[in-house]
Amino acid sequence: MANLFTLGALDGGARRGRLQLAHGAVETPCFMPVGTAATVKGLTPAELREAHTQIVLANTYHLWLRPGKETIEAAGGLHAFMAWDGPILTDSGGFQVFSLEGRRRLDDEGVTFASHLDGSEHRFTPESVIGFQEAIGSDVAMLLDVCVKLPASREELEESVRLTAAWARRSAAVPPSGATLRFAIVQGGLDAALRERSARELVELDFAGYAVGGLSVGETRAEMYATARATAALLPEAKPRYLMGVGTVRDLVAAVDCGIDLFDCVYPTRCGRNGRAMTSGGELNIFNAPFTRDFSPLDPSCDCSTCTNFSRAYLAHLFRAKEMLGPRLLSYHNVYLVNALMRAARDAIAAGEWALFRDRASG
Amino acid sequence: MANLFTLGALDGGARRGRLQLAHGAVETPCFMPVGTAATVKGLTPAELREAHTQIVLANTYHLWLRPGKETIEAAGGLHAFMAWDGPILTDSGGFQVFSLEGRRRLDDEGVTFASHLDGSEHRFTPESVIGFQEAIGSDVAMLLDVCVKLPASREELEESVRLTAAWARRSAAVPPSGATLRFAIVQGGLDAALRERSARELVELDFAGYAVGGLSVGETRAEMYATARATAALLPEAKPRYLMGVGTVRDLVAAVDCGIDLFDCVYPTRCGRNGRAMTSGGELNIFNAPFTRDFSPLDPSCDCSTCTNFSRAYLAHLFRAKEMLGPRLLSYHNVYLVNALMRAARDAIAAGEWALFRDRASG
């Protein structure tokens, strides 16, 4: 396989790279806005581009249930269906299925679950999940893994590591179809030995990239960073590394410092819908009373169309009046801001100024 | 006063005109999308422009209560507040206040009412309503009128006509401030004699334009058209005529045929939010099952960005998944379609082909 990931500058733990995918190149570190149901909530593909989005994430569990594989295939694939012609990473749906406590049965071959929409029964196996993602034309498919909520017993974690590796071997045996890359997901909770074992078992199988899974699920920030850093160090330098579920400014900066290249999180869009703005001066709640008479932009140092055109007072009015334009404008700003943060991080790493950037951005 | 309305072609009952306002010219016949709370629901000003919107409507009652006059004045006026630099017409709020049955007290001097938001007491008078609209910088202010729901007794209608004229005289006595034009509203229900009296009393006062009020409030379509046509005939040819609350394709075409120049209605955006698309082939409900596998555009003859980029199947998916992008894309299309209808109507009138256009568009 050609080397699809090119590592450029290294600066401390931080990495500057480039991932070539079927629908375009992704400059890393890179944040991927989440489009669970084939739409980044409230935003059009044109706006995602304008906000400098390079790649979006979509969700196998949700798309499997609705609209379903047949519809997406009939549309000509996920890109055509959602009218986004840039790269798409799809997660395996494992995280969602394992969240369906009481509605799923795990066995060695896969997991059977009841749809949260209509209770209908479905089954994920390593093969069916890879097959789905390749059929809909994802640029990057995530393998089916076994995710556990923290805190978890050693037995649960061991079982998750064992099955995740077994399923990865079965995934690797599926003949590739199309140009979809496959990323494996390292499990092991906060246990260093289990993380080491999980990483070793997956790296042996030589996937195109590796995710650090099983974090952002109940542990402390310090625990998350420590495990992300230790796990990243176990992964091949020449392959992209993806930390799942991270999307605050503080966490993104910390995770880049741990040597991670890719991130996704609903945080920027969920906050946007709820009136929480991410700004260069920290987060703010647009419902706070003073904003109703504040005619300055959301973030005076941001050049996005929300900050260029609208005042805090207008946004505060939209949210108080429950006008849908409010969530839309704030979601756009938050995605733009996170993308700008990643762009600045890439520049800082390339310029050898990562430590300075990190300390300023985290402050 | 300079002649701000220029009548171009006449074709049958239909009129082609041009209304010069402080923030730009409006080619008529023209539909005004409704931005009740200083936002056309779900759409940005840039999108309204792109959809060929010439003028938007905002609502005095709603803006009076929230965010209030002081905030809008502090923002530099309504245009700056909502970041729309084109013309704005504000209605007087009379319609909303008279809908607050049991929460408002009418007297000869004005109407006192309880806010639907917090129960606080407010009072509209002809003077306060004109003052509000001029203070926030509307291009066109509507006079406070007395609106009655149909069917209504002769006494109610007479009283509405009497007070509407008395209040119009008081409005006319308010010294103008700024470049805001004032339009009076003809009342009289379906009673020809009362309509005639109302029109005569208001026309004597020489306002910049006249609205046909008190329709779209419970009467049949035939009654509405007959009254609109008869009332239009009572109004000066050289002044713009505005029919309030009309926004379906059928009603717009019929009303243009009655000699009306301006229209507003929540219909296109409300339908858009609820999954109802207005198309050149009639209306369609995006929730209908066949659309989930229909990869053609919403309206194959529409060149709006929704129809250019997205399929019916994708829109059906968004609505079923309750994704906010769905209402947004459908609202945009509906506004675009109604604006395109009005543009085509203007062309047809100018070309002397109105009857042909009307019969085809109504069919």
Do the Cβ atoms of A323 and B45 come within 8 Å? no
Interstrand relation of B181-186 and B209-212 (parallel, antiparallel or unpaired): parallel
CB-based contact, B45 to chain A, within 8 Å: yes
**Interior CA angle at A284 toward A278 and A287, to 5°?**
125
The C-alpha torsion from B319 through B324 and B325 to B328, rounded to 10°, is: 100
Report the amino acid identity of residue A338: V
Per-residue confidence (pLDDT) for residue A218, from 0 to 100: 86
Q: What is the pLDDT of residues A179-204, one digit of tens each?
A: 999 999 999 999 999 999 999 999 99
Which chain A residue's Cα is nearest to B295?
Answer: A75
- Contact A29/A247 with Cβ under 8 angstroms? no
What CATH architecture does domain A7-265 belong to? Alpha-Beta Barrel (3.20)
Average pLDDT, chain B: 96
CB < 8 Å from B in window 250-269 of A: none
Whether B261 is a known active-site residue: answer: no
The pLDDT-based confidence of A362 (bands split at 50, 70, 90) is: confident
The pLDDT-based confidence of B254 (bands split at 50, 70, 90) is: very high
Per DSSP, A34 falls in state: B
The answer to pTM > 0.95 is yes
Q: Which two tokens stand for residue A324?
A: 């849908």
Do the Cβ atoms of A41 and B314 come within 8 Å? no
Q: How far is B206 from chain A (nearest CA, A)?
A: 36
Whether A294 is a known active-site residue: answer: no
DSSP B24-54: EEEEESEEEEB-TTSS-TT--HHHHHHTT--
Do the Cβ atoms of A66 and B317 come within 8 Å? yes
- Contact A3/A239 with Cβ under 8 angstroms? no
A173's CB contacts (< 8 A; 6+ apart) are none
Residues of chain A with CATH 3.20.20.105: 7-265
- Residue A363 pLDDT greater than 70, yes or no: no
Per-residue confidence (pLDDT) for residue B149, from 0 to 100: 87
Q: What is the pLDDT of residues B295-354, one digit of tens each?
A: 999 999 999 999 999 999 999 999 999 999 999 999 999 999 999 999 999 999 999 999
Which chain B residue's Cα is nearest to A75?
Answer: B295
Give the 3-state secondary structure of residue A129. helix
* CB nearest B37 (choices: A39, A311, A323): A323
CB < 8 Å from B in window 50-89 of A: 62, 66-67, 71, 74-76, 81-83
- Provide ipTM, 2 decimals: 0.97
Which one of A40, A72, A314 makes the best mutation probe of the B interface by having the most chain B beta carbons within 10 Å? A314
- Residue B19 pLDDT greater than 70, yes or no: yes
Measured CA distances, B276 to B221, B288, B296, B298 (Å): 21, 10, 16, 11
CATH number (3.10.100.10, 3.20.20.105, 3.40.1260.10, 2.40.50.140) of B5-265 reads 3.20.20.105
- Using a pLDDT cut of 70, give the percent of chain A over it: 99
Do the Cβ atoms of B328 and A328 come within 8 Å? yes
CB-based contact, A45 to chain B, within 8 Å: yes
- Residue B69 pLDDT greater than 60, yes or no: yes
Q: What is the pLDDT of residues A119-176, one digit of tens each?
A: 999 999 999 999 999 999 999 999 999 998 889 999 999 999 999 999 999 999 999 9
Q: Which residues of B touch A59 (CB under 8 A)?
A: none
Per DSSP, B245 falls in state: T
Q: Which two tokens stand for residue A178?
A: 């199309």
Rounded to a whole number of angstroms, the CA Rg of chain B reads 20
- Residue B294 pLDDT greater than 90, yes or no: yes
Q: How far is B305 from chain A (nearest CA, A)?
A: 10
Average pLDDT, chain A: 96
Which one of A317, A319, A322 makes the best mutation probe of the B interface by having the most chain B beta carbons within 10 Å? A317
Do the Cβ atoms of B328 and A329 come within 8 Å? no
Please state the length of chain A: 363
Q: Averaged over A216-224, what is the pLDDT? A: 91
Report the amino acid identity of residue B48: L
Per-residue confidence (pLDDT) for residue B283, from 0 to 100: 97
Do the Cβ atoms of A292 and B71 come within 8 Å? yes
Give the 3-state secondary structure of residue B87. coil
The pLDDT-based confidence of B102 (bands split at 50, 70, 90) is: confident
- Please give the sequence-ordered ranges of beta strands (E in DSSP) within chain B, or none if there are none: 5-11, 14-21, 24-28, 30-33, 56-59, 88-91, 104-107, 110-114, 121-124, 140-142, 181-186, 209-212, 241-244, 262-265, 276-279, 282-285
Q: Averaged over A35-61, what is the pLDDT? A: 98
Report the amino acid identity of residue A324: M
Cα B122 from Cα A53, distance rounded (Å): 48
Q: Which residues of A touch B83 (CB under 8 A)?
A: 309-310, 314
Q: Averaged over A212-225, what is the pLDDT? A: 92
CB-based contact, A115 to chain B, within 8 Å: no
Q: Which residues of A touch B62 (CB under 8 A)?
A: 321
* CB nearest A323 (choices: B41, B74, B325): B41
Q: Which of B139, B264, B294, B299 is catalytic?
A: B264
Q: What is the pLDDT of residues B121-169, one digit of tens each?
A: 999 999 999 999 999 999 999 999 999 888 999 999 999 999 999 999 9
B21's CB contacts (< 8 A; 6+ apart) are B4, B55, B87, B139, B140, B179, B181
- Contact B97/B104 with Cβ under 8 angstroms? yes
Q: What is the pLDDT of residues B184-224, one digit of tens each?
A: 999 999 999 999 999 999 999 999 999 999 998 889 999 99
User: What are the counts of helices (DSSP H) followed by strands (DSSP E) for chain A?
Assistant: 15, 16
Q: Which residues of A touch B75 (CB under 8 A)?
A: 295, 311, 313-314
- Using a pLDDT cut of 70, give the percent of chain B over it: 99
Residues of chain B with CATH 3.20.20.105: 5-265
Q: What is the pLDDT of residues A270-321, one digit of tens each?
A: 999 999 999 999 999 999 999 999 999 999 999 999 999 999 999 999 999 9
Q: How far is B203 from chain A (nearest CA, A)?
A: 37
Q: Which residues of B touch A81 (CB under 8 A)?
A: 311, 313-314, 317
Q: Taking Cα atoms as reference points, which of B17, B83, B78, B76 lies closest to residue B48?
A: B83
CB-based contact, B317 to chain A, within 8 Å: yes
Report the amino acid identity of residue A326: G
- Residue B2 pLDDT greater than 80, yes or no: no
Q: Averaged over B55-75, what is the pLDDT? A: 98
CB < 8 Å from A in window 329-348 of B: 329
> What's the order of all strands across the beta sheet hosting B104-107?
B104-107, B110-114, B121-124
Cα A308 from Cα A311, distance rounded (Å): 8
Q: What is the pLDDT of residues A56-97, one digit of tens each?
A: 999 999 999 999 999 999 999 999 999 999 999 999 998 999
Q: Which two tokens stand for residue A84?
A: 């986004």
- Using a pLDDT cut of 90, give the percent of chain B over it: 94
Which chain B residue's Cα is nearest to A78?
Answer: B314
Taking the CB of residue B76, how many other CB atoms lie within 10 A of it? 13
Per-residue confidence (pLDDT) for residue B363, from 0 to 100: 61
Report the sign of the C-alpha dihedral through residues B117, B122, B123, B129, in that order.
Answer: negative
Number of A–B residue contacts, CB under 8 Å? 110
